[in-house]
Chain A
Amino acid sequence: MGMVKKCWAILALQLACSGAYALDAPVWVGINDPAWNEMYPVRVQAMQAKGDAVRGEAKFVICQGCHRSAAVGRVDGSYPRLAGQHVSVLIKQMTDVQTERRSNPKMQPFIHLHEVLPQNVADIAVYLHGLPVTANHGRGPGDDLQHGQLLYMKDCATCHGKQGEGSDEQFYPRVSGQHFNYLLRESLIIRDGKRRNAHPDMVTVIKRYTDKDIAAVADFMSRLPVNP
């Protein structure tokens, strides 16, 4: 009897665990790249949870000291704009920082599991995605835009979109409406291997870039239309 019970328990556990990947056959089935898109438990839980924007707004109070009210971020790029970002991207980035897959010591204590549960992550992501994106973000100096456009269209647009719109299905962040200095800083640390959670294809592409190339692309991205 004990043995039968144990078998049932194991089966039930397997069903519960595999359910995430099988039920609605979401697009991320099978994606399990440990370097970039690993589906670890808190991330799966956050992706499965039904987010609620009202709860998200209440929880976001602990984030707005840095990301500002309505998640507009800072024009100087010290903190990114989160408003209007894709839900899948927000969840990935929050849980990546939470589990230290993305290095971000400043944010780490505020996204710690003691404070932010997978349900909270889902709520916050839905809230942020619904916020308006305004055109008052930080922009680059505008002195090398042709070069930036050339590189962006050749190397970046395939994933991040011609208008910088990104992709919710593919976890590619929207880059339009983002602060220039943030785009610049993150691009540099992705190239130098310090951010750690970037797509391997992006790392391959950006490895060849000089500081000047990166500045030009970041500048171009900061000038993409906010509401195309």
Chain B
Amino acid sequence: MIAIASPSLFQSHLPHWALLALLALSVMPHQAVASDARAIATTICAACHGADGNSTDPAYPKIAGMDEGYLLRQLRYFASGKRRNEVMETIIKDIREADFSSLANYYSAQKPLPGKVNNAQLAAVGKRLYEDGNTETGVPACAGCHQPDGDGNARFPRLAGQHQVYTLQQLGNYHSGRRATDRLMVAVAQRLSADEMKALAEYVAGL
């Protein structure tokens, strides 16, 4: 009887979720920066990286949840030519430098989806390397810089859940010196064997 006598105003007109959605919409126009970044992400970046930064094509990196500072630096490297990549070199020209910060902010705020380990045995080899390094050849434990969970930070990128193909490609680029945006990583990659690279790529995909 009491419940009927005092119906909530919310329950009588709209469900909670609809009210929350309306509230969110009413806030959005004030956040011009954020919506610009989303628009750029959807129209320019999404084809390869996905609108939410979880690319489905393993040739292109997942960038969701990567550190904002790291993403911003990479955008600047691509723009200046310090980091080379045929696809990015062309596409970066369509993005204004003034939008780099909000774009980095947008993708770092996206939720990263987990990757998939295809070969558990190989991943186990990778795990040992990732956590202990190779004392014979002077490979440091990756966990030292990229953190045990592969979450990374402003200097060292997130590796967790990354596509095997992409991780392997970048390790190869560091090894050959094609990518030299971080001298430490060049030194590390030059000490890694091809088999070790494959094992590491397999392991971090499952982090």
Contact = CB atoms under 8 A, between A and B. Distances in A.
A62 B145 contact: yes
A66 interface: yes
Interface in A95-120: 105-107, 109-110, 112, 114-115
Interface string A67-78: 000000010101
In this complex, the member of A61, A65, A78, A112 whose beta carbon has the largest number of chain B beta carbons within 10 angstroms is A65
Contacts of B142: 65
Interface in B121-161: 133, 135, 138, 140-145
A79 interface: yes
Q: How large is the interface on B (under 10, 10 to 19, 20 to 34, 35 or more residues)?
A: 10 to 19
Q: How large is the interface on A (under 10, 10 to 19, 20 to 34, 35 or more residues)?
A: 10 to 19
Contacts of A107: 138
A109 B140 contact: no
B109 interface: no
B187 interface: yes
* Majority SS at the chain A contact face: loop
B183 A62 contact: no
A64 interface: yes
Given A76-B135, A79-B135, A106-B138, A65 B183 contact: no
B27 interface: no
Contacts of B141: 64-66
A64 B184 CA distance: 13
Contacts of A106: 138
Nearest to B140: A65
Given A65-B140, A66-B133, A76-B135, A109 B145 contact: no
A169 to B, nearest CB: 32
Nearest to A109: B187
A112 B184 CA distance: 9
A64 B144 contact: yes
A66 B141 CA distance: 6
Nearest to A114: B183
Interface of B: 133, 135, 138, 140-145, 183-184, 187
28 contacts: A61-B144, A61-B145, A62-B145, A62-B184, A63-B144, A64-B141, A64-B144, A65-B133, A65-B140, A65-B141, A65-B143, A65-B144, A65-B145, A66-B138, A66-B140, A66-B141, A66-B144, A74-B135, A105-B138, A107-B138, A109-B184, A109-B187, A110-B140, A110-B184, A110-B187, A112-B183, A115-B183, A115-B184
**In the complex, the 9 A-B pairs of residues with the closest C-beta atoms, listed nearest first:** A65-B140, A65-B144, A106-B138, A109-B187, A78-B135, A64-B144, A65-B141, A66-B140, A114-B183
Given A61-B144, A62-B145, A109-B187, 7 more contacts: A64-B141, A65-B143, A65-B145, A66-B135, A74-B135, A76-B135, A110-B140
